[in-house]
Structure 1
Amino acid sequence: MKKITRNIAFGSIIGMAFSCTYDFPETPTSEPSQGEADFSKMVVIGDGIAAGFMDGALYTRGQQNSFAVQMAAQMETINGSGFNVPSINSENGFFAVGPGGVPLGRLILRTQNGTTAPAPIGTGDFPGPFSGDKASLNNFSVPNMTLGLALIPQTGGPNVPQNPAYNPYYARFATQPGVSTPIGDAASALANGGTFFTFWLGSSDVLGYAVGGASNPALLTSVSDFTGRFNAALGTFLATVPEAKGAVGNIPDLNVLPYFNLVPWNSLPLDAQTAAFVNQNFAAYNGGLVQLETMGAISAEERALRTVNFVAGQNGYLMTDENLTDLTGFGLPSIRQSNSSDKSTLTLSQVLGQPVNNNPQSIRGVSYPVEDTYVLTTVEQNEVQSRIDAFNQIIQSAVQSSDARLVLVDVKSFLNQVLQGGVRFNGQALTASIIPPNGGISVDGIHPNGRAHAFIANEFIEQINAKWGSNIPLINPNTVVGNDLPIN
């Protein structure tokens, strides 16, 4: 196998132009007022978004720019009394473990060899214990927290191999690690003088499955489990303080996340000589497909789909596809080249075109098929979208059943407007990309950045104001930092 030079192009890291716009109304000039709601103490429960997780890490700037913190600051102009978060106290946070066990910090955009792509900023910090007053916290949001994890004490510990539920971000501020639960702690804070709450859980019940290429079914919450867990969690809040009102967020679609769009399906470059060499190695495989079509084992369409044919230039990469007809009995694997209907994950950029286990004859995407963890096929995309739609219907029904006390914030529709038309504030757009200055998704390609959090906070504020006749002032998102400019 000839050596293949890696030069993966990030097709979506380019500017986007939008013709349609959705302009936020100007900030009201009348005096702030609470209307029929009371914002003197707000309690927030959610997953990574509400916690301020961005750029692949929980770090101080992200935490302080979460939509919850920004919204609470606007409520303070009325009758709010401060908003406390379990401060992470880290400039760069923790993204991954680097060589020698050194923690690597948040992702940044770095330009090397003419390609701009996410990379760790350098040294970061492992999540340390929270040294503040746990009893005064307002934000109980935890990165990667599903509804199931929000309801069980194992989320707070102990940290042992037999406890896969352990989450270090909750353990650091749990009132009683291994005994208390995130929902229980948040409800206790609400019971202690709380008047308003924000509830935004559910995204992690499907997102964790999707970002792993839909390869681990255990990560996808069933509809029945989601129904029971969501109603139990939200019901706890409603029962704790019968007078408290709340805003409930729903789950965004995958199509707004650059994580699934930054690595093009045809991101494998080959020269003519290498393409011809690889094709020769697949001649027997392609011939076997022709024979199986003749035998009626597969259709002509599937034979064409599975045929491997590399060309000079940009190519679809070799990948596994479990949805293909099982031909292992004939000695043929379930492989094909990627096409425009597939969605590659951002993590594929780090391994595509590279030797597997340092074997120069085994090149991922060429002679070695890309694993399911790096790709969402059409079947998998439809599965994920179907689950998002079902979960959002459950959320909507729960809000409607307590209509007098709850308002639904349709974040899904809002972010789709960002994707389709470019939401604006004072003429400045917000786009569904990681490109500064207007890109609203942080460098991890999944979580909103600080500027997008300001837009999301405004969406919450708009719905709250409309529901209860409040006049919470809007934020100017253009004063909040988004993604940093790329560095060399």
Structure 2
Amino acid sequence: MKRHIYKSGMLALFAGILLTSCDPEIDAPSASAGELDLTKYVAVGNSLTAGYQDRGLYREAQLASYPALLAMQFEQAGGGEFVQPLFGTDEASGSGYLRIDRFENGRPVMVPVPGQAFREGTTLPGGPALTKYTDPVQNLGIPGISVLASASPQYGAINPYFERLLEPGEVGSKTYVQEVIESQPTFFSVWLGNNDVLGYATAGGEPTSPFDNLTDRNVFGSIYNTIIDGLTTGGAEGVLMTIADVTAVPFFTTVPYNALALERQEQVDQLNAAYGSGALGFSFQLGANPLIVRDPSAPAGLRQIKPTELVLLTALDSISGRGYGSARPLPDRFFLDESELQMIAEHTTAYNEIIRKAASDNSLALFDANAFFDSIKGGFVFDQVTYAPVFVSGNLFSLDGIHPTPRGYAILANEMIKTINAEYNANIPTVDVSQYRAVLFP
């Protein structure tokens, strides 16, 4: 298959110098790689690395992936070409994605854009097979992959995004760890581990696949360090990223715990009667009320959700259109209770300790994504534009409520560049964030 090479082009030269000016000229520092060899940059990671957004992977999203943006800036400091497994222009919608069709009562109505990159007649356990791209690539971002899955030979026969990059004889026998180690970069980035907690979280603590469960900490450490050891064997430098608090993104924060809005006394009376008029330890009133959720340990197997627990974005349609959370208790797969949130927090902390130690032991740069996302929970203003981790309107997150918009990826790329510059005495220029879009409105 023809290789698609992502290049930014040469910088334009000044046409001339104004000799009539007597003002002193101040030259900006020229771009420099510092201590780095950027000849071959390889990006290791999951959906965030691939550029996934709007619940899909498509050409525009790939071109705005943070590795593509980093490579564009690296080129200005002497970096080499960067090859991505781009979907062709005739299959630009890739695996398909979401777009906003219209707004109803202030809520966005989203519709799917069909994918164009499927192989007819071939379906994997993880979904329809995608068109093959078996030439060597440097963006090894695989949507859905976890550290645990990266060491499984069978994973290439499960995940369509990984299967797409493998030769037919490698499917079901070659691990992602092997693919990464064979890449032999001079500089690399690694953002892995999010899915070792995210799969569990997005399933409401009820994962259906062993790859979506919380990964044992010792197993995580062993596999992660194998990857880093393999990448650094030839002396390559790199940047590692910690795992952000996955429950802080709009997928988990958009639907409030008290989303049961009762506007008429008749509604209040009906629900109070249906639930025993206080016999179960709770009652209803006019206004906002906590949702009713299933809990096997509670009286009658149900209760009101607590303010400290989180409702998933996937519950929104069931709450608004099917009576869940009121007349019908919300199933466990639609919310995270306190014990599940505690386990997510504990595993995230443990994984990040492993990542930090790997960076320290190998003298690698470390972008603390966890600290960065924590610092922007209240939002921020950049170039007179407001950004916040808010669904649709916050400019940072795409329509799936988990992955960034192109502008969000640009902001992340700049934070990574700052980290790389500080660690390796480099002067890699940052990305012009204004050149990348946020959520598209109809």
- Offset of residue 282 of structure 1: 1.8
Aligned residues: 398
- Offset of residue 215 of structure 1: 2.2
2:315 matches 1:348: yes
Of 314, 322, 331 in structure 2, the residue corresponding to residue 371 of structure 1 is: 331
Quote the Cα distance in structure 2 between the aligned partners of 1:342 and 1:208.
18
Q: 1:265 to 1:77 in 2, by over 3 A?
A: same
Residue 55 of structure 2 corresponds to 56
Residue 382 of structure 1 corresponds to 342
Quote the Cα distance in structure 2 between the aligned partners of 1:131 and 1:113.
39
Q: Which has the higher contact order (CA 8 A, sep 6+)?
A: 1
Residue 369 of structure 2 corresponds to 411
Contact preservation (8 Å) 2:194, 2:246: no
Contact preservation (8 Å) 1:213, 1:345: yes
2:275 matches 1:282: yes
Q: Could you tell me the percent identity over the aligned residues? A: 27
Structural RMSD (CA): 2.1
Pairing 1:23-42 to 2, within 5 Å after superposition: 29-42=28-41
Structure 2 counterpart of 1:462, which letter?
K
2:234 matches 1:258: no
- Offset of residue 353 of structure 1: 4.7
Pairing 1:243-254 to 2, within 5 Å after superposition: 243-254=235-246
Of 390, 397, 404 in structure 2, the residue corresponding to residue 433 of structure 1 is: 390
Secondary structure of 1:319's partner?
Answer: strand
Deviations 1:312-346 (A, max 9, x none): 33322210135x45xxxxxx422111242221100
Secondary structure of 1:228's partner?
Answer: helix
Pairing 1:429-468 to 2, within 5 Å after superposition: 429-436=386-393, 439-468=395-424
Residue 123 of structure 1 corresponds to 114
- Offset of residue 179 of structure 1: 2.2
Secondary structure of 1:108's partner?
Answer: strand
Q: 1:446 to 1:181 in 2, by over 3 A?
A: same
Contact preservation (8 Å) 2:98, 2:399: yes
- Offset of residue 109 of structure 1: 3.4
Secondary structure of 1:336's partner?
Answer: strand
Residue 193 of structure 2 corresponds to 202
Structure 1 length normalisation: TM-score?
Answer: 0.77
Secondary structure of 2:285's partner?
Answer: coil
Structure 2 counterpart of 1:281, which letter?
A
Quote the Cα distance in structure 2 between the aligned partners of 1:473 and 1:482.
22
Of 96, 99, 109 in structure 2, the residue corresponding to residue 108 of structure 1 is: 99
Deviations 1:354-399 (A, max 9, x none): 44xxxxxxx4222321111111122222221121111111110111
Secondary structure of 2:181's partner?
Answer: helix
Structure 2 counterpart of 1:431, which letter?
A
- Offset of residue 127 of structure 1: 4.2
Residue 294 of structure 2 corresponds to 320
Structure 1 counterpart of 2:67, which letter?
A
Quote the Cα distance in structure 1 between the aligned partners of 2:82 and 2:109.
32
Quote the Cα distance in structure 2 between the aligned partners of 1:174 and 1:333.
51
Q: 1:235 to 1:120 in 2, by over 3 A?
A: farther
Contact preservation (8 Å) 1:430, 1:452: no
Deviates more, 1:35-44 or 1:254-263: 254-263
Deviates more, 1:84-93 or 1:140-149: 84-93
Structure 2 length normalisation: TM-score?
Answer: 0.84
Deviations 1:91-142 (A, max 9, x none): 4343xxxxxxxxxx3123344431323623443346454454522x101110
- Offset of residue 428 of structure 1: 3.3
- Offset of residue 222 of structure 1: 1.7
Contact preservation (8 Å) 1:110, 1:117: yes
Deviations 1:184-240 (A, max 9, x none): 1222122xxx3111111000000111111122395111212211121122222122x
Q: Which runs of 5+ in 1 are unaligned?
A: 1-27, 95-104, 158-165, 290-306, 326-331, 356-362
2:162 matches 1:170: yes
Contact preservation (8 Å) 1:319, 1:338: yes
Secondary structure of 2:183's partner?
Answer: helix
Contact preservation (8 Å) 2:134, 2:165: no
Of 265, 279, 301 in structure 2, the residue corresponding to residue 334 of structure 1 is: 301
Secondary structure of 2:99's partner?
Answer: strand
Quote the Cα distance in structure 2 between the aligned partners of 1:146 and 1:423.
33
Residue 134 of structure 1 corresponds to 135
Structure 1 counterpart of 2:251, which letter?
Y
Quote the Cα distance in structure 1 between the aligned partners of 2:255 and 2:392.
15
Q: Which runs of 5+ in 2 are unaligned?
A: 1-26, 120-129
